[in-house]
Structure 1
Amino acid sequence: MSLRLRTETALDLTLQGTVGSFGVGRGDDRSLRVKYLLTHVGLNFSSASNDKLLTALAPVREIFDFKSLDFDEIMQRDIDDARVSAELVPYLLDESSKDMIKLFPPIVVVVMPIQQGRVQPDNFYPEVVEEKLAPDSDHDHSRLVIRSGAIGNEVFQFEQPIIDDQPLAHDLVRLRLNTHRTRLIIVDGQHRAMALLAIYRNLKDQWSDERRAPFKEYYSAWTKSYIERFNLTDINLPVLLCTVPELDEKYGGDFDMKRAARSIFLTLNKTARQVSDSRNKLLDDNDLISALMRRTLSHIKAKDERSSRALRIVNVELDQDGSRQRIQTPVAITGVPHIYYMIEHMMLDNGESVKGVKPRSGTFYNRTRLDDMLTRLEGRDLLGAATADAIRRNLFSSDAAEKLGQAFDKLYGAYIIGMLEKFEPINRHNEAVIEIGEQLEREHDRQLKPILLEGQGIGRVFEAHRTNLRQKLQSGYFRTDVPEIEASARRLDATAARITDAVARLHEERASRFFNNLNDKRVIRDGDDIEQKAVDLCNRMYDDIFSTVAFQTAIVCGFLGLVEKAELRLKRGEFSGAGDIIRNDAFDEYIGQLNGFFVPRTVAKLKNLIRVFRGEPTEEGQLAPIRPSTHTFREVVFRAEMQPDQWPKYRYLLLELWRPAHMALAAVVNEERAECRREVFSALHDHYETSYCKNFAKLKDELTSGERKEVFEQTLAPYNELLRNLGAEPLNRDAMHEAFSKVPATAATDLNTDSDLAELDDEP
């Protein structure tokens, strides 16, 4: 008698349901088939699969260590635990309809392979095979089996009964999983899933894991005794478990499992209101600008404590609330919209989008041809003529994106990172964030550090939850366990106070570092502590200027745009004897000159900075109070709201500070500065002339020569005062006379009328 040995399967979770498929990708012949099982999960623990699936199911924040993921592997938004606790858990535990079945749309999960021996997403499944198996002792019918991995080391396996030579799409279809080689990534419905998981964990007391513990407090109001009052066996939520069998180790196309997961997410959420514009930009695999942005963010995320600079990914706000651009997270200094906007301009500007101080023109989101990008990145040499002619912003291969991306990193992306590292006001913010993080680490505060440093928008979620719980207590919503819930509310209040204190410490640390170069710190200190007025002044500078899309774009795109012009003129042979422009050297010189103004070393220069952006200090030897003046940047250059497309106004300001050593670059900068001055003076003169005529009830044509001279002097004085505070030479009177007579007054003030501009404001 022969001994029959059978390899034991590694598949330890079996689910039954209905099988189906749909396509993801670009909608052409390269799209991929997603094969899914539709099943359900609930709180009926007589079914072993429920317990096993709820144990395996978790949001991404609990599955993977954020620090260990490449930026390209970050797939979704943070969870709004406040909304889950305030809206979704009560829906499942609705006392008024506790005997009714509760229903959500399906939770969509991707069965993600992980690297062997590591909790890290893998790009592909082990080899997927498809075979028909005859009936055996365990099965009385034939089966179609689709399996990834060799028996004994499988990742997943579909089993479909075959009746009349046709595999069934329902009735006894099984999906079997190896929970040690896969992770169940929720790509849609993570809030719905979290509602169920919160109930399950409160029942089973499963919050002790280090990655779960920071979020336990959000759900503490739903006590075990309260939950057990309900008929939990009727709570069943549909779950769609997705696999992409084509993406195995034999696949030779452009996709991988991470891109497939993002594609599924965007397919389901592209038009959903709750998905922010930032998140859509972040995840879009069909936009080459998004791909280049992710490369830049990946380089930032790769920085760690060994970096000589303080920039970290926490300083980038990845998911902003709604479509507004103002930074909302206290530790962030820039955001996805900032970097996307810069890259979009760098790559798609046709050389005509920025002229003088007029707002940037053109609808960039409509620009799909990449002629300007290919020229800048020498794309025809990199890709070949045929590929370069066919590529579009929304139609490109992974190979083309990689080749162009490498050139972009060196020629353009490096300057975004360089600005965030080397421009001292931003660098000092980043240093302050690291210092506060180290303080929280020393204090072993498991709540504050995640809220401030380990998630995007968690602070907003926390405050929303605290407010909602207070409202429920005041309205008498809770009828049992009220003392425990009130204690939870007091803990939340205490945490909120600590958050406020930590943010205040961050602002004080940042201000202290910002003013660190001052030769006389008595004006910003009260004994050993920094004065609150100095902190407030610093906060206004960061909120209104340093962290805005317009200002950061002006620094980077203003520099690169003029370097490109100078390089083109050098190529034409206009500057005999001038060598090539070394971009890195020119950038360091440029940033150094900006730092000389924006991080003042003397009290006098600090007051000049205040005069340019805030107003006139009114007390000798003091920074505050500050009275309004007519010679600030906003009064002289632009008096309206500083929307992103108005960044050429800031570019002009920086031109007054920039004195390049290279002959060609200096010539281009001087010419551009002179043109900007003429436009600004013309617009300012028109403003004063209009005000004068209104005050004296006159038409402009009725003004006498003396009155015209008076208006001219009214215009010249504040402009020259602004230049004096910037350390620049005064205006040429003859050139300014010519300016307001020949340059249209609207040149400096025309607003971009693009329909989408209203959603891109830097300021509230």
Structure 2
Amino acid sequence: MSKMFGVQKTPIYGSFGEFTIGGGSGTIRAKYILTKIKPGNDGSWECELASQMKPWREVFNVEELSFDELLQRDLDDSRVAHDLIPYLLGTAGIRAKFFPPILSVIVPRKQSGAGIEPFYPKPDFPEDLIENYGELFDFEQIKWAEPTPLATLRYNRQRSAFIIVDGQHRAMAVLALHRQLNESWGNNAFASYYDHISVTPEQVKSIELPTCIIYFPDLHEGNPISQKLGIDLSSVCREIFLVVNRSAKRVSESRELLLDDEDIAARLMRRTLSTLKDRGEEQAGLARIYSISYGDSDTEIGQREVTSGHLEYSSAIALHKIHRAISFGVEEAFKIDYYSDISDGRRTQNRNRPAEILLGTGVQHNSVLSRNSGKLLPPHEVDEVVEKLGALADVALLSLFDKFRPFSTHNSELRNLRMRLSDVHARAEVEQKKAYTLIFEGSGVRNVFDSHFERLKEEKDELNREGQPVPDHIENQIEFCNSVNSALDKHERRFQRDRACKFFSINIDLFDDDNNHDEQK
């Protein structure tokens, strides 16, 4: 009777299996349940799971995420709406309507703020074949006369999150159909990409998406092994993400660095980026990163930006090279009377320099320190190495971003733009709200928006060539995109004007007076 009034957990049914990650003393177990989600409104557990499954960007506030938690590829909503959904609905001329399984990890949400907890609650085992992870979830292997390969996972909808580590676009195609059918987008900033999709229960009744949900029994609170190894849910998710995506599609160099735990210089780069990103409003006059671009798309690979909208701060690759040079540069590079090209990677493998810098610290017993020792040293030593070396490098780097006049001017005007777009009146206008999203939220969203706009125009041109009428939803979306682009252009031109006037100490009032054409020139 007590369970009836306690925490209610929603069931998932499927077959289960187990594998391991790592090797030797660093091995941890991974269990999974192979199940499914489906779009619909019939109240089934598969539809309920579709309602709970969300892409990473919707689980957490992107401005509060650390770089260690930015695991997922950016979602290309234009590709999902124009390619994947027509494939599922059979309107693309292909009869098969099947996707391979997506891969997700069930994790505990933080009880306050963004992010996930590093470990599951400590489990108990009330009965044979049953694992109870507190109020988060339960796992039960189904037993009839004897144990079967079937299992049930019951999850707390309020405390659990499902991080998709592979197949995010496939998942979004099914989730978009589910939301269109149930009109459950709410005020989602990306709903406009799917406004043109009309779907009925009959169209989706045979659509199901295989889903593999993983959890890690050893990564729970109070387990000394996982803590000794420095392994937590975030690091394991990063490891799985890199492994499954490295062979599936090229992962950009900047993203690999953001997820690389072996390279000390990569950890130092993440420390600098996290410092820039995590600055609060009380530090608004200083440099801050609002959104990033990883260079994962075909058009971006090779660019490797860390940007704010289209207003670029710096390259993640450049920051990585700077940290390599400062902490692992050859001795000749630091002599005033001798020039050495420190940009050459062969000149940033000096194992003696970091050891000398760290003399007098808790890690001074390391006579040499390899750049690729991030997984070889004990976790607490790695943390101290990164903290000490990073603090030294950031004295110069953060001062550059904060005080060098071109950057400080950029910081000030970027904050002014953000304040204007955060005004309640601006946020009430759909176009202005979208402009804010494209400049200050997420990563790569501007490229997705531009791609979506181009696809819409191509569809309209093709219909015109064939002499067919253009549907209202295409005309409406093109009109909306034009209005958003107009707003973006206006904001960016004003930003560039105000930034230039402030940098060169020009009286900005001259540009607001139509009678001052000569002085404006």
User: If the length of structure 1 is used for normalisation, what is the TM-score?
Assistant: 0.60
Q: Which residue of 2 aligns with 1:489?
A: 478
Per-residue CA shift, 1:232-283, capped at 9, x if unaligned?
1221111111111111112222112222222221121234434222111112
Alpha-carbon distance, 1:94 to partner:
2.4
**May I ask how many residue pairs the two structures share in their alignment?**
502
SS of equivalent residue, structure 1 residue 234: coil
RMSD (Å), alpha carbons: 3.4
In the alignment, structure 2 segments of 5+ residues that lack a partner are none
2:95 counterpart of 1:87: no
Further displaced range: 240-249 or 275-284 = 275-284
Alpha-carbon distance, 1:182 to partner:
0.9
SS of equivalent residue, structure 2 residue 274: helix
Q: Which residue of 2 aligns with 1:755?
A: none
Alpha-carbon distance, 1:370 to partner:
3.6
Q: Which residue of 1 aligns with 2:176?
A: 198
Q: Which residue of 2 aligns with 1:373?
A: 354
Task: Report the Cα distance in structure 1 between the residues aligned to 2:384 and 2:305, rounded to whole angstroms.
Answer: 33
Q: Which residue of 2 aligns with 1:184?
A: 162
2:244 counterpart of 1:244: no
Alpha-carbon distance, 1:377 to partner:
2.8
SS of equivalent residue, structure 2 residue 331: coil
Q: Which residue of 2 aligns with 1:148?
A: 133
Task: Report the Cα distance in structure 1 between the residues aligned to 2:84 and 2:260, rounded to whole angstroms.
Answer: 28
Q: Which residue of 2 aligns with 1:641?
A: none
2:412 counterpart of 1:431: yes
Match of 2:124 among 109, 123, 129: 129
Alpha-carbon distance, 1:423 to partner:
0.8
Q: Do the aligned residues in 2 keep the contact of 1:82 with 1:218 (CA within 8 Å)?
A: yes
Alpha-carbon distance, 1:125 to partner:
0.8
Task: Report the Cα distance in structure 2 between the residues aligned to 1:101 and 1:81, rounded to whole angstroms.
Answer: 22
Shift of the 97–308 alpha-carbon distance from structure 1 to 2, 3 Å rule, reads closer
Match of 1:17 among 14, 35, 39: 14
Q: Which residue of 1 aligns with 2:402?
A: 421
Q: Which residue of 1 aligns with 2:451?
A: 464
Task: Report the Cα distance in structure 2 between the residues aligned to 1:402 and 1:204, rounded to whole angstroms.
Answer: 47
2:335 counterpart of 1:335: no
Alpha-carbon distance, 1:162 to partner:
4.1
SS of equivalent residue, structure 2 residue 124: strand
1:501-516 alignment runs, 5 A limit: 501-516=490-505
SS of equivalent residue, structure 1 residue 20: strand
Q: Which residue of 2 aligns with 1:233?
A: 205
Further displaced range: 5-14 or 333-342 = 5-14
Per-residue CA shift, 1:45-104, capped at 9, x if unaligned?
446112211111111211111233344333223212122222212221222557x44222
Q: Which residue of 1 aligns with 2:302?
A: 323
Shift of the 301–433 alpha-carbon distance from structure 1 to 2, 3 Å rule, reads same
SS of equivalent residue, structure 1 residue 29: helix
Task: Report the Cα distance in structure 1 between the residues aligned to 2:174 and 2:470, rounded to whole angstroms.
Answer: 20
Shift of the 389–339 alpha-carbon distance from structure 1 to 2, 3 Å rule, reads closer
Q: Do the aligned residues in 2 keep the contact of 1:315 with 1:333 (CA within 8 Å)?
A: no
Per-residue CA shift, 1:436-477, capped at 9, x if unaligned?
111212222211101011122211110001001111222239
Q: Which residue of 2 aligns with 1:115?
A: 110
2:17 counterpart of 1:42: no
Match of 2:440 among 447, 453, 456: 453
Per-residue CA shift, 1:485-536, capped at 9, x if unaligned?
22122111221222222222221122122212x6xx69x966758x99x99x
In the alignment, structure 1 segments of 5+ residues that lack a partner are 134-143, 536-621, 623-764
Q: Do the aligned residues in 1 keep the contact of 2:295 with 2:302 (CA within 8 Å)?
A: no
The one-letter amino acid paired with 1:29 is: S
1:595-674 alignment runs, 5 A limit: none
Shift of the 473–163 alpha-carbon distance from structure 1 to 2, 3 Å rule, reads same
SS of equivalent residue, structure 1 residue 16: strand
1:168-179 alignment runs, 5 A limit: 168=148, 170=149, 172-179=150-157
Task: Report the Cα distance in structure 2 between the residues aligned to 1:312 and 1:301, rounded to whole angstroms.
Answer: 5
Task: Report the Cα distance in structure 1 between the residues aligned to 2:260 and 2:287, rounded to whole angstroms.
Answer: 25
1:281-360 alignment runs, 5 A limit: 281-307=257-283, 309-314=285-290, 317=293, 321-325=300-304, 329-352=309-332, 359-360=341-342
Q: Do the aligned residues in 2 keep the contact of 1:317 with 1:335 (CA within 8 Å)?
A: no
SS of equivalent residue, structure 1 residue 265: helix
From the CA coordinates, give the structure whose radius of gyration is larger.
Answer: 1
SS of equivalent residue, structure 1 residue 37: strand
Task: Report the Cα distance in structure 1 between the residues aligned to 2:158 and 2:4, rounded to whole angstroms.
Answer: 17
Give the fraction of aligned pairs with identical amino acids, expressed as a percent.
27
SS of equivalent residue, structure 1 residue 447: helix
The one-letter amino acid paired with 2:130 is: V
Shift of the 29–473 alpha-carbon distance from structure 1 to 2, 3 Å rule, reads farther
SS of equivalent residue, structure 2 residue 218: coil
2:138 counterpart of 1:160: no
SS of equivalent residue, structure 1 residue 476: helix
Alpha-carbon distance, 1:413 to partner:
2.1
The one-letter amino acid paired with 1:21 is: E
Per-residue CA shift, 1:592-643, capped at 9, x if unaligned?
xxxxxxxxxxxxxxxxxxxxxxxxxxxxxx8xxxxxxxxxxxxxxxxxxxxx
Q: Do the aligned residues in 1 keep the contact of 2:291 with 2:439 (CA within 8 Å)?
A: no
Q: Do the aligned residues in 2 keep the contact of 1:377 with 1:411 (CA within 8 Å)?
A: no
Q: Do the aligned residues in 1 keep the contact of 2:374 with 2:382 (CA within 8 Å)?
A: no
Alpha-carbon distance, 1:106 to partner:
1.7
Shift of the 527–480 alpha-carbon distance from structure 1 to 2, 3 Å rule, reads closer
Q: Which residue of 2 aligns with 1:106?
A: 101
Task: Report the Cα distance in structure 2 between the residues aligned to 1:230 and 1:481, rounded to whole angstroms.
Answer: 26
Q: Do the aligned residues in 2 keep the contact of 1:123 with 1:257 (CA within 8 Å)?
A: yes
Q: Which residue of 1 aligns with 2:377?
A: 396
SS of equivalent residue, structure 1 residue 186: strand
Task: Report the Cα distance in structure 2 between the residues aligned to 1:327 and 1:308, rounded to whole angstroms.
Answer: 19
Shift of the 291–23 alpha-carbon distance from structure 1 to 2, 3 Å rule, reads farther
SS of equivalent residue, structure 2 residue 463: coil
Q: Do the aligned residues in 2 keep the contact of 1:220 with 1:485 (CA within 8 Å)?
A: no
Q: Do the aligned residues in 1 keep the contact of 2:41 with 2:182 (CA within 8 Å)?
A: no
Q: Which residue of 2 aligns with 1:561?
A: none
Task: Report the Cα distance in structure 2 between the residues aligned to 1:457 and 1:389, rounded to whole angstroms.
Answer: 36
Q: Do the aligned residues in 2 keep the contact of 1:314 with 1:332 (CA within 8 Å)?
A: no
User: If the length of structure 2 is used for normalisation, what is the TM-score?
Assistant: 0.86
Per-residue CA shift, 1:560-599, capped at 9, x if unaligned?
xxxxxxxxxxxxxxxxxxxxxxxxxxxxxxxxxxxxxxxx
Alpha-carbon distance, 1:164 to partner:
7.3
Task: Report the Cα distance in structure 2 between the residues aligned to 1:278 and 1:94, rounded to whole angstroms.
Answer: 37
Task: Report the Cα distance in structure 2 between the residues aligned to 1:5 and 1:197, rounded to whole angstroms.
Answer: 35
Q: Do the aligned residues in 2 keep the contact of 1:311 with 1:420 (CA within 8 Å)?
A: yes
Alpha-carbon distance, 1:215 to partner:
0.8
Alpha-carbon distance, 1:6 to partner:
5.4
Shift of the 441–256 alpha-carbon distance from structure 1 to 2, 3 Å rule, reads same
Task: Report the Cα distance in structure 2 between the residues aligned to 1:272 and 1:346, rounded to whole angstroms.
Answer: 35
Q: Which residue of 1 aligns with 2:60?
A: 64
Q: Do the aligned residues in 1 keep the contact of 2:86 with 2:92 (CA within 8 Å)?
A: no
The one-letter amino acid paired with 1:515 is: F
SS of equivalent residue, structure 1 residue 125: coil
Q: Do the aligned residues in 2 keep the contact of 1:17 with 1:174 (CA within 8 Å)?
A: yes
Shift of the 417–126 alpha-carbon distance from structure 1 to 2, 3 Å rule, reads same
1:636-715 alignment runs, 5 A limit: none
Q: Do the aligned residues in 2 keep the contact of 1:278 with 1:337 (CA within 8 Å)?
A: yes
Task: Report the Cα distance in structure 2 between the residues aligned to 1:499 and 1:221, rounded to whole angstroms.
Answer: 23
Per-residue CA shift, 1:682-723, capped at 9, x if unaligned?
xxxxxxxxxxxxxxxxxxxxxxxxxxxxxxxxxxxxxxxxxx
Task: Report the Cα distance in structure 1 between the residues aligned to 2:399 and 2:261, rounded to whole angstroms.
Answer: 26
Larger RCO: 1 or 2 (CA < 8 Å, sep 6+): 2
